[in-house]
Structure 1
Amino acid sequence: MLVDPARGYDLIGDVHGCAQALVRLLEALGYRQQSGVWRHPQRMALFLGDIVDRGPRIREALHIVHAMVEAGQALCIMGNHEFNALGWSTPAPPGSGRQFVREHTPRHARMIRQTLEQFEEHPGDWQAFLTWFYRLPMFLDAGRFRLVHACWDAELIDSLRGAYPDGRIDEAFLQGSALPGSFASRVFNRLLRGTDMRLPDGQTLTGDDGITRAFFRTKFWEEDPQTYGDIVFQPDALPDEVARMPLSESEKSMLLRYGAKEPMLFVGHYWRSGRPAPIRPNLACLDYSAVLYGKLVAYRLDQETRIDPRKFAWVEVERPEALQ
């Protein structure tokens, strides 16, 4: 997808239905609503996906972002929650052992519940948005900077471009993601969910969300990690005894590394907290847990080639707005 490298951009992290916070952030960034669309005279918004699920005003948030995109005032890439919504609504291919691409398990039902409830009286609206989700690219490469929801894997992205040059997938790709180990499954899991590693010795970890997992999310940029603690990248810390355990050479070899000399990369997805800041001079996460009473964060990108800590902007999400 082509963008104007000379233009100013406001990169915005995971909204998750926090429409009121999005309006306050756009106002703070100098956008004004004209003819039903939020516009800026010189700048353009770039959304990092995950507009849907969890929050109280998902339909409103989608309409804001969709209107901006359709009017040429914004671009939006796909998040794992948009991909999941398509999978929830799409029959699985023969031989997958599933009824839908995203199985209708109790856990998956909880994740999409607020979205489905808020569109219950607007089925036509929901179908239109599902169709629109196919127009959201899996990544954006502007040369000087890149956007992906969770993780930039150059090899997978190069392969994806061969079949989908603009990064926009179709139903065949979505259905292919239901087949474990398929190319579509690997692309979805890596680009939209990130990298992970199995906890050692069959251990599990129950997070603050109440879900017990055998894997933990990992950094995809650490140059010389030595222990599990060096690579963990998630809100839930590893137990101290696990964090101190050394990585094996085979585990190190499986890690992805986004080099320090690569173009600036902006991601969402990771539920960060605290004061927004770069992870490295060429890497920033803009997801600061808006729907958990955190911050809805933007980065004001101009002509710089390294991320400026002074150019983060945000609004605090007030409790009536966030997850009830």
Structure 2
Amino acid sequence: MEGYDLIGDVHGCGATLAALLERLGYHQRGGVYRHPRRKVIFLGDLIDRGPRIRLAVTIARRMVEEGEALIVMGNHEINALAYHHRAPAELGREWLREHTPRHNRIVRETLEQYRDHPQEWDETLAWFLDIPLFLERDGLRVVHACWDQSRIDELRASRPDGRIDLDFLTAAVRHGTREFEILDRLTRGSHITLPEGVQIQSGDGFTRRSFRAHFWAHRPRTWGDVVFQPDNLPGDLELRPLSAAEAERLTYYGPDEPPLFIGHYWCEGIPALPAPNIACLDYSAVKFGRLVAYRWNGEARLDADRFVWVRVPREEQARPQPWEIDFD
């Protein structure tokens, strides 16, 4: 094997995923994309929002099950599992993830595209539950949002393979539990709450009252030192000092740690490295950005020239078409 091709958040852009795999030298044999000398690692968030969600899941799942790829869990897979499992009576609600207008909107496209394929959706949910939260192998690390060593060690102590079950998921919907802290940090990263009365109207139409913070700034002092999202902070909040409590909650991933690959953060523009040993591969494909891969060949210091991507144009007729991969 030469190495791994790590692919960021697909979010239902199944035809674009097929085009990216072809560009990377993977070709379909027996209904599975294969490469003679490489394997893929998917960074999670296969579902929601995009036009070909079933196709995206089918491509990834077949590759994983045939040993042609690995995958870690994204927060959207977690959301789907919680949305579809009933809550115990003591929680005081019907579902682990409540069916609020906001949550309904996030999962709407996924449910619509699986509506006529209920057995396939049930099998997909069962497969999601078999996906680990992190990978560490052959000198690299992979997690959807944030590598927090203390929480990973805590998870490994009881679950060495990094996989969760329904009991873990049920405990994780309660704020403050050990399970919540692990799942939230690894799949959603760190957030800092905005001041009272301040909110962000994000590009995807959601109102947010916190912002996403990264974890590779050494001794950050201000909010601007750690903010990591396409939406700007309102006013002069980037200059606001980090409080002691905020700084204490942040994770730090130093430059001497192994190469780390993450998704989740809706980056924009030309793919770039936020740190010499960290690559974020989520470049907003479903928002007409780029579906991005990194071709890793074992290097400890990452190289921006190893990014490969397919752009997702707004014009329907210009988008990649899945000519030979209609699985229906």
| Aligned position for 1:129 | 124
Q: 1:20-39 to 2 correspondence within 5 Å?
A: 20-39=15-34
Percent identity between matched residues is 52
Task: Quote the Cα distance in structure 1 between the aligned partners of 2:5 and 2:19.
Answer: 14
| Aligned position for 1:110 | 105
Q: 1:257 to 1:104 in 2, by over 3 A?
A: same
Amino acid at match of 1:304: E
| Aligned position for 1:145 | 140
1:77 and 2:108 matched: no
1:212 and 2:220 matched: no
Q: Do the aligned residues in 1 keep the contact of 2:194 with 2:209 (CA within 8 Å)?
A: yes
Deviation at 1:209, TM superposition (A): 2.5
- Which string of whole-angstrom CA distances, capped at 9 and with x for unpartnered residues, describes residues 212-240 of structure 1? 22211111111022211111111111123
Q: Name which of 231, 243, 256 aligns with 1:248.
A: 243
Deviation at 1:206, TM superposition (A): 2.2
Task: Quote the Cα distance in structure 1 between the aligned partners of 2:206 and 2:155.
Answer: 31
Amino acid at match of 1:75: L
Task: Quote the Cα distance in structure 2 between the aligned partners of 1:11 and 1:171.
Answer: 28
1:62 and 2:57 matched: yes
Q: Name which of 31, 37, 43 aligns with 1:48.
A: 43
- Which string of whole-angstrom CA distances, capped at 9 and with x for unpartnered residues, describes residues 143-185 of structure 1? 5110000001111111111121101111111111121211111
Unaligned 5+ runs, structure 2:
321-328
Task: Quote the Cα distance in structure 2 between the aligned partners of 1:250 and 1:175.
Answer: 28
Amino acid at match of 1:208: G
1:274 and 2:269 matched: yes
Q: Do the aligned residues in 1 keep the contact of 2:216 with 2:275 (CA within 8 Å)?
A: no
Amino acid at match of 1:65: A
Task: Quote the Cα distance in structure 1 between the aligned partners of 2:153 and 2:262.
Answer: 18
| Aligned position for 1:170 | 165
How many residue pairs get aligned? The number is 317
Q: Name which of 88, 94, 97 aligns with 1:99.
A: 94
- Which string of whole-angstrom CA distances, capped at 9 and with x for unpartnered residues, describes residues 33-61 of structure 1? 00111000000010000001000100011
Range with greater deviation from structure 2 (110-119 or 218-227): 218-227
| Aligned position for 1:291 | 286
1:160 and 2:151 matched: no
Task: Quote the Cα distance in structure 1 between the aligned partners of 2:89 and 2:179.
Answer: 16
Range with greater deviation from structure 2 (43-52 or 223-232): 223-232
Deviation at 1:120, TM superposition (A): 0.4
Task: Quote the Cα distance in structure 2 between the aligned partners of 1:185 and 1:253.
Answer: 18
1:89 and 2:46 matched: no
Task: Quote the Cα distance in structure 1 between the aligned partners of 2:205 and 2:117.
Answer: 31
Deviation at 1:210, TM superposition (A): 2.8
Structure 1 stretches of 4+ with a deviation exceeding 3 A read none
Unaligned 5+ runs, structure 1:
1-5
Range with greater deviation from structure 2 (19-28 or 233-242): 233-242
Give the match's secondary structure for 2:142: strand
- Which string of whole-angstrom CA distances, capped at 9 and with x for unpartnered residues, describes residues 219-276 of structure 1? 1111022211111111111123211122233332322111111111100011001111
Q: Name which of 188, 191, 197 aligns with 1:193.
A: 188
Task: Quote the Cα distance in structure 2 between the aligned partners of 1:40 and 1:280.
Answer: 29
Task: Quote the Cα distance in structure 1 between the aligned partners of 2:119 and 2:209.
Answer: 39
Amino acid at match of 1:34: R
Give the match's secondary structure for 1:315: strand
Q: 1:7-18 to 2 correspondence within 5 Å?
A: 7-18=2-13
| Aligned position for 1:120 | 115
Q: Do the aligned residues in 2 keep the contact of 1:146 with 1:265 (CA within 8 Å)?
A: yes
Amino acid at match of 2:234: P
Task: Quote the Cα distance in structure 2 between the aligned partners of 1:251 and 1:69.
Answer: 38
Give the match's secondary structure for 1:188: helix
Range with greater deviation from structure 2 (156-165 or 108-117): 156-165
Amino acid at match of 2:98: E
| Aligned position for 1:265 | 260
Task: Quote the Cα distance in structure 2 between the aligned partners of 1:241 and 1:51.
Answer: 35
- Which string of whole-angstrom CA distances, capped at 9 and with x for unpartnered residues, describes residues 87-130 of structure 1? 01111133222211111101000000000000000000000000
Deviation at 1:299, TM superposition (A): 0.3
Q: Do the aligned residues in 2 keep the contact of 1:17 with 1:51 (CA within 8 Å)?
A: yes
